[in-house]
Amino acid sequence: MARAHKSDASDQGNFTDDVVDRRLPIDRRAIAKGAELQTGLERRRGPGRRRTDFTRAAEEGEMTKEQFLFVQAIDAFKKANDKSFPSWTDVLEVMRLLGYRKTCPSEINLPSAEDWTEKADAPAGVREKPGHYDLDEEED
C-alpha cells in the first residue's frame, strides 16, 4: 500500500497533514450538515427522531386513502403506457390528473427554484401533447 510522504527527504516516513486516517470515528453526516443548505427535505433528524404517523403507516404497509390512490394511479399509468419506470415528468402528470395543484407556498427551502402558486381549479395542462386525449372531451 502506498503511503503519502512529505517531499522533504529528511522527513521520509512521516505522514502529511492532509492524510485522513479512515479508522477514526468521523461522522460524515455532521460534516455534510454544516456544509449544505437545509432544504426541509432531510429525513434524518438525529438520534431519537420520530417518524410522523403518515410516514410510519406507509413504511409499515398501512396506506392512507391518498397514498393508495396515488400508488394505484401510478400503477395504472405504468400499465397503460408500458413503462416499468415512469420519469419524474410522468409522475407529475399523474399527480396533476389526480387533481393536485400548487395552491400554497412551499414549506421547503429550494433557493435554486422559484416558488409559485396557481388557482385550485387550474387545468391540469398535461394532455395537450400529440397522441394524448383530453379527459374533459367526451367521445362521440
The dihedrals phi and psi of 107, each to the nearest 5 degrees, come to -100, 10
Q: Is residue 23 part of a domain?
A: no
Q: Give the DSSP per-residue string, the chain.
A: ------S-GGGTTPPPTT---TTS---HHHHHHHHSPP-S------TT----HHHHHHHTT---HHHHHHHHHHHHHHHHHT-SS--HHHHHHHHHHTT----S--SS--TTS------TT-------STT---TTSPP-
pLDDT recorded at residue 140:
45
Extract the C-alpha cell encoding 104: 400554497
pLDDT recorded at residue 64:
86
**One digit per residue, pLDDT tens: the chain, 140 residues?**
555 544 445 555 555 555 666 676 665 555 555 555 677 777 665 666 677 777 777 777 788 899 889 999 999 999 999 999 999 999 999 999 999 999 999 999 998 999 999 999 999 998 865 555 555 554 44
pLDDT recorded at residue 81:
95
Taking the model in full, what pTM does it have?
A: 0.57
pLDDT recorded at residue 27:
59
Q: Is residue 139 part of a domain?
A: no
pLDDT recorded at residue 118:
96
For the segment 54-87, what is each residue's pLDDT rounded down to a tens digit? Answer: 777 777 778 889 988 999 999 999 999 999 999 9
**Into how many domains does the chain fold?**
1
Q: Is residue 6 part of a domain?
A: no
The dihedrals phi and psi of 71, each to the nearest 5 degrees, come to -60, -40
Q: Is residue 28 part of a domain?
A: no
pLDDT recorded at residue 24:
67
- Domain range for 101: 50-132
Q: Is residue 105 part of a domain?
A: yes
